[in-house]
Amino acid sequence: MKSLIKLVPALLLLVFISVVFYSCQKDIRTETKAQEESQFIAATQDKGHLQQTKTFSCESALKWQDMQLRILRLPAGVNPFGLNGVRNFAYCGIALYESVVPGMPAYQSLYGQLVDMPEMPSTEPGSAYHWPTCANAALAYMNKHLYINTSAANIASMDSLENALNATYQSDVNNDETFQRSKDFGRTVAERVFTWSTADGSLNVNPPYVMAALPLWQPTAPNPTGVVGPYWGNNRPFVQGSTAGTASPLPPSYSIDPGSAYYAMVKEVYDISQALTPSQSAAAIYFNDEPGFKAGTHYLSIFSQIMHIEDPQLDFYALAQVETAISMAESQINCWKIKYTVLLDRPIRYIRNVLGHTTWTPLIPTHPHPDFPSGHSQNAGAFAAAMTSLFGDNYQFTLHTYDNIGLPPRSYNSFNEMAEDIGRSRVIGGIHYTYSCVEAKNQGRKIATNILNILKFKKD
């Protein structure tokens, strides 16, 4: 018994030593594991596949979109960019998407899908890319080249934005090689996209135009000699087959017979103008975009407003812009091709000369291009279809586009509801027929649907 008692301290000491030894070994293993993990992260943080596009915010893309809006927000009566605002939105969207899609494993380039699009550069296998830096480089290059004729102040602002984002991203990356590699990749993508854009025909859309004889379209007050984009419809399409099945029946044939469909179509515009409510007038004035965003660029502002609310990751933003912008740009080409083929005259001449209301003037100024189809309405249809595919049928939002000039915000329960409101606003404004607006919206919707079905963004 005494021997056993003598052994107890020894046994306790042995147990204590064992516990201490085990704890030390555990601490050593934990520390070693932490070191190994740290070493693994340090060794692999430059592997591009570990930092996917979806892990970054859309900051760079959103700030460049707001910069583009600053350039495109125009004073009354000024529109130096013509129809190029929507076109530029599309090419910027393509450059953005292509600059970050290598960091989106489930998605693929649009090379081989867009008409005549050049092959995009490849990333270096196993090398890291900081996708916001890629996006910044691509969008800086695109905007500086697409808006080379903007004001000196805007050019300086573009330089400042590019440099500010680069300073932030260089600090975030903390690796000069990765940062420079990312800048070079984004710029190379943009160089190829921009060069491709210069051959789409948009530089040759305003050569001398020979007017058709009345009763076909001719310019009217307040632009009695103005002709906008007579050959825009000849521009290279973005997506082959995008307009298949989208054509509308032609508008009613010209007639001065009071019982004719043409007479009724014009008379509706006049009748509406004689009993406008404050609410109707407000809609027409809001979407007249004067001063503000002309030739469809209001939709770029709407897109930006939605993205500020949603604040998505960079991968979603890039996909949303490229889908929406291509749909709109393609729709605009189609719209202008039909305009200068059908040559439907605007309401003002008929109302004055045939209906006999010689002093009649529409609520908003008549634009210097043919009536059918309505450009604003066709853009609205394409925009609504693309955005609905992204956010659903019941997306509620409020427009604040013209808060800066005191126009009340406008709220909607869906993008389609907004598109319908825009179409009505053109009839209320006295510059389009109902048929031109309804069919234009349908055409835009169908074109966007075709594009979303034809283009394969995801890999098989």
Q: What is the pLDDT of residues 172-187, one digit of tens each?
A: 998 999 999 999 999 9
Per-residue pLDDT band for 321 (boundaries 50, 70, 90) equals: very high
Give yes or no for residue 69 having a pLDDT over 90: yes
Q: Does a structural domain hold residue 283?
A: yes
Per-residue pLDDT band for 207 (boundaries 50, 70, 90) equals: confident
Q: Which residues contact 193 (CB under 8 A, 6 or more apart)?
A: 91, 94, 95, 98, 118, 138, 142
Mean pLDDT (whole number) for 130-134: 98
Q: Does a structural domain hold residue 56?
A: yes
Q: Does a structural domain hold residue 17?
A: no
Mean pLDDT (whole number) for 202-212: 89
Alpha carbons 460 and 457: distance in angstroms, whole number: 9
Q: Would you state the pLDDT for residue 77? A: 81
Give yes or no for residue 26 having a pLDDT over 70: no
36 sits in which H/E element: helix 2-44
Q: What is the pLDDT of residues 340-384, one digit of tens each?
A: 999 999 999 999 999 999 999 999 999 999 999 999 999 999 999
Q: What is the pLDDT of residues 212-225, one digit of tens each?
A: 999 999 999 898 98
Q: Does a structural domain hold residue 44?
A: no
Same domain? For 183 and 238 the reply is: no
Alpha carbons 327 and 343: distance in angstroms, whole number: 24
Same domain? For 134 and 220 the reply is: no
5 sits in which H/E element: helix 2-44
Mean pLDDT (whole number) for 48-68: 90
Percent of the chain beyond pLDDT 70?
Answer: 89
Q: Does a structural domain hold residue 74?
A: yes
Count other C-beta atoms under 10 Å from residue 286's C-beta. Answer: 20
Same domain? For 164 and 229 the reply is: no
Count other C-beta atoms under 10 Å from residue 336's C-beta. Answer: 25
Q: Would you state the pLDDT for residue 140? A: 98
**Alpha helices (runs of H) in 296-433, residue ranges in sequence order:** 298-310, 314-342, 347-353, 375-391, 415-428
Give yes or no for residue 101 having a pLDDT over 90: yes
Q: What is the pLDDT of residues 288-320, one digit of tens each?
A: 999 999 999 999 999 999 999 999 999 999 999
Alpha carbons 315 and 134: distance in angstroms, whole number: 12
Same domain? For 124 and 259 the reply is: no
Give yes or no for residue 18 having a pLDDT over 90: no
Same domain? For 153 and 69 the reply is: yes
Instruction: Report yes or no: 36 and 87 within 8 Å, Cβ to Cβ.
Output: no
Q: Would you state the pLDDT for residue 79? A: 83
Q: What is the CATH number of the domain that holds 409?
A: 1.10.606.20
Residues 384-401 as b or e (16 or more Cβ within 10 Å = b): bbbbbbbbeeebebebeb
Q: Which residues contact 9 (CB under 8 A, 6 or more apart)?
A: none
CA angle at 304 for the pair 87 and 339, rounded to the nearest 5°: 35
* Of the residues 197, 230, 260, the one at which a domain ends: 197
Percent of the chain beyond pLDDT 90?
Answer: 84
Same domain? For 271 and 397 the reply is: yes
Same domain? For 250 and 129 the reply is: no
- Read off the DSSP letter of residue 248: P
Average pLDDT, the chain: 91
Per-residue pLDDT band for 50 (boundaries 50, 70, 90) equals: low
Mean pLDDT (whole number) for 394-404: 97
Nearest Cα to 412, choosing from 431, 389, 387, 448? 387
Count other C-beta atoms under 10 Å from residue 367's C-beta. Answer: 23
Burial class, 319, CB count within 10 angstroms (exposed 0-12 / middle 13-18 / buried 19+): buried
Alpha carbons 410 and 23: distance in angstroms, whole number: 67
Mean pLDDT (whole number) for 118-136: 97
Mean pLDDT (whole number) for 218-246: 95
* Of the residues 137, 168, 197, the one at which a domain ends: 197
Q: What is the pLDDT of residues 249-275, one digit of tens each?
A: 999 999 999 999 999 999 999 999 999
Q: Tell me how many domains the chain contains.
A: 2
Q: What is the pLDDT of residues 78-92, one digit of tens each?
A: 888 889 999 999 999
Alpha carbons 448 and 183: distance in angstroms, whole number: 32
Q: How far is CA 255 from CA 105, 265, 339, in A?
A: 59, 11, 19
Q: Does a structural domain hold residue 460?
A: no
Mean pLDDT (whole number) for 55-81: 93
Cis bond before residue 208 (omega within 30° of 0) = no
Nearest Cα to 100, choosing from 388, 322, 329? 322
Per-residue pLDDT band for 204 (boundaries 50, 70, 90) equals: confident
Per-residue pLDDT band for 32 (boundaries 50, 70, 90) equals: very low
Give yes or no for residue 6 having a pLDDT over 90: no
Residues 416-425 as b or e (16 or more Cβ within 10 Å = b): bbbbbbbbbb
Give yes or no for residue 154 having a pLDDT over 90: yes
Q: Does a structural domain hold residue 386?
A: yes
Cis bond before residue 291 (omega within 30° of 0) = yes
Q: Does a structural domain hold residue 326?
A: yes
For residue 271, the SS3 value is: helix
Q: Would you state the pLDDT for residue 315? A: 98
Q: Which residues contact 103 (CB under 8 A, 6 or more apart)?
A: 48, 51, 52, 53, 54, 129, 131, 315
For residue 44, the SS3 value is: helix
CA angle at 369 for the pair 211 and 285, rounded to the nearest 5°: 150
Q: Would you state the pLDDT for residue 146? A: 97
Domain containing residue 416: 216-454
What single letter denotes the amino acid at residue 424?
R
Q: What is the CATH number of the domain that holds 93?
A: 1.20.144
- Read off the DSSP letter of residue 107: B
- Read off the DSSP letter of residue 101: G
Mean pLDDT (whole number) for 133-146: 98
Alpha carbons 28 and 51: distance in angstroms, whole number: 30
Per-residue pLDDT band for 20 (boundaries 50, 70, 90) equals: very low
Same domain? For 381 and 235 the reply is: yes
Q: Would you state the pLDDT for residue 205? A: 85
Alpha carbons 136 and 158: distance in angstroms, whole number: 11
Count other C-beta atoms under 10 Å from residue 455's C-beta. Answer: 18
Q: What is the pLDDT of residues 419-458, one digit of tens each?
A: 999 999 999 999 999 999 999 999 999 999 999 999 999 9
Give yes or no for residue 107 having a pLDDT over 80: yes
Highest mean pLDDT of the ranges 11-20, 48-57, 86-95? 86-95
Instruction: Report yes or no: 375 and 328 within 8 Å, Cβ to Cβ.
Output: no
